[in-house]
Amino acid sequence: MQPAQPTKSQSVEKSAGRTPVMRHDERCDRCGARAYVMTLHSGRALMWCSHHYNEHEEALREYLFIDAREALTVN
């Protein structure tokens, strides 16, 4: 299954000193749930909920940029 196309607002600028940051209100590009993982593909960010990233992890691992799934761990 192919990942959803990134939205225009998720374009990542490659200019020096600019690093993409994952905000708490980011949403999964597949289902709209809260995103915990960001992957970068050709300068564009894709956001993933934990469920969808886990489903496609093997194919996406090389594109992994931010993984905030540890926030889901219950202490």
pLDDT of residue 22: 81
- The answer to whether residue 52 is domain-embedded is yes
pTM of the shown model: 0.70
Count the alpha carbons within 13 Å of 8 in the hemisphere toward its beta carbon. 0
What is the total count of domains within the chain?
Answer: 1
- The answer to whether residue 3 is domain-embedded is no
pLDDT of residue 43: 84
Task: Using the CB atoms, write b or e for 18-52: b if 16+ within 10 Å.
Answer: eeeebeeebebbbeeeebbbbbbeeeebbbbbbeb
Q: Is the pLDDT of residue 63 over 60?
A: yes
d(C-alpha 12, C-alpha 8), whole Å: 9
pLDDT digits (tens, 9 = 90+) for 4-62: 544 434 444 443 446 667 888 999 999 999 999 999 998 899 999 999 999 999 999 99
- The answer to whether residue 6 is domain-embedded is no
- The answer to whether residue 15 is domain-embedded is no
pLDDT of residue 70: 87
- The answer to whether residue 54 is domain-embedded is yes
- The answer to whether residue 66 is domain-embedded is yes
